[in-house]
């Protein structure tokens, strides 16, 4: 079983990377944030390191790569949830930074998880129910909420969550401010994120890594 790969980025696809390890090319499936990072190392001598989950079936062996052990651990927890396969787990991990995702699960923020394409509210609730007590030990750098003077913890957490999704802080803060008016004086984080996302989706839509960050691998590489 392959647990770790260290080598050069040979090629990138829409959902995978080819890592050259000593002249052997390994096809590794990654989420979009990881692929965008790997793009910076493509074609150079710098080596990258991926922590790997090896999935073996009757007719295939697939490798799933992650930049940290904590992301690998969360991936394995996710695929243990009913109806969450590797593809859905990658989509969840690609949606926001790890601390934001862990905080969302621990805090029961259904709106944040259900904003992932293909993950409905019921599935998001199932993920939270099954995983919220299994995340001990996951690194949470900067876990403490940093709020501005006079800003509630809920507002600060909602803004932080939207920034973790890729929105600029200025637009996230503006959307949350508008959401507060409609949600109430003591809003919950999940309600704020949900309302803010609806507003942001009517303007620019959810942010995604630029297409130029990943390039399609030719049939020969596959």
Question: What's the pLDDT score for residue 185?
Answer: 56
If pLDDT is split at 50, 70 and 90, which confidence band does 88 have? very high
pLDDT for res 151: 55
DSSP string covering 96-143, please?
S-HHHHHHHHHTT-HHHHHTSTT--HHHHHHHHHHHTTS-TT---TT-
The pTM score is 0.66
- Report whether 87 contacts 114 (CB < 8 A): no
Mean per-residue pLDDT, 145-155: 54
- How many degrees, rounded to 5, is the angle at CA 50 between CA 216 and CA 26? 50
**Percentage of the residues of the chain whose pLDDT score is greater than 70:** 82
104 vs 87, more confident: 87
Distances (CA, A) of 175 to 23, 95, 148, 196, 200: 49, 19, 16, 5, 7
Q: Summarize the confidence of residues 88-114 as an average pLDDT.
A: 89
Query: pLDDT tier at 139 (50, 70, 90 boundaries)?
Result: low
**Of residues 204 and 18, which shows the higher confidence score?**
18
DSSP 217: P
| Residue with more model confidence, 67 or 153 | 67
**Of 107 and 73, which is predicted with more confidence?**
73
Q: Identify the pLDDT of residue 142.
A: 47
* Domains (range + CATH), the chain: 4-67 (2.40.50.140), 69-131 (1.10.150.20), 153-201 (1.10.8)
Q: Which of 30-34, 126-130, 216-220 has the lowest mean pLDDT?
A: 216-220
What angle in degrees, to the nearest 10, is found between the helix axes of 169-183 and 153-164?
140
d(CA 108, CA 85): 21
d(CA 180, CA 153): 13
CA angle 119, 124, 127 (to 5 degrees): 120
- Greater pLDDT, 58 or 182: 58
Beta strands in the chain (DSSP E): 4-12, 16-21, 24-29, 48-56, 61-66
Asked whether residue 21 carries a pLDDT value surpassing 80, the answer given is yes
């Amino acid at each position: 079983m392959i647990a770790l790969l260290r080598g050069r980025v040979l090629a990138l696809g829409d959902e995978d990377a080819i890592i050259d390890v000593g002249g052997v090319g390994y096809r590794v499936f990654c989420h979009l944030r990881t692929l965008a990072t790997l793009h910076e190392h493509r074609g150079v001598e710098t080596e990258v390191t991926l922590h790997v989950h090896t999935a073996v079936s009757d007719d295939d062996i697939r490798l799933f790569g992650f930049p940290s052990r904590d992301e690998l651990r969360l991936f394995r927890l996710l695929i243990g949830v009913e109806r969450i396969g590797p593809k859905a787990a990658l989509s969840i991990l690609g949606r926001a930074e790890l601390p934001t995702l862990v905080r969302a699960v621990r805090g029961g923020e259904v709106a944040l998880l259900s904003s992932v394409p293909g993950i409905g509210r019921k599935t998001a609730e199932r993920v939270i129910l099954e995983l919220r007590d299994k995340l001990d030990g996951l690194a949470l750098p900067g876990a403490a909420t940093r709020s501005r003077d006079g800003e509630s913890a809920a507002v600060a957490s909602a803004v932080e969550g939207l920034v973790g999704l890729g929105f600029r802080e200025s637009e996230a803060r503006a959307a949350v401010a508008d959401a507060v008016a409609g949600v109430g004086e003591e809003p919950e984080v999940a309600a704020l994120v949900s309302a803010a996302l609806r507003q942001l989706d009517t303007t620019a839509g959810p942010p995604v890594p630029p297409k130029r960050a990943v390039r399609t691998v030719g049939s020969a590489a596959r």
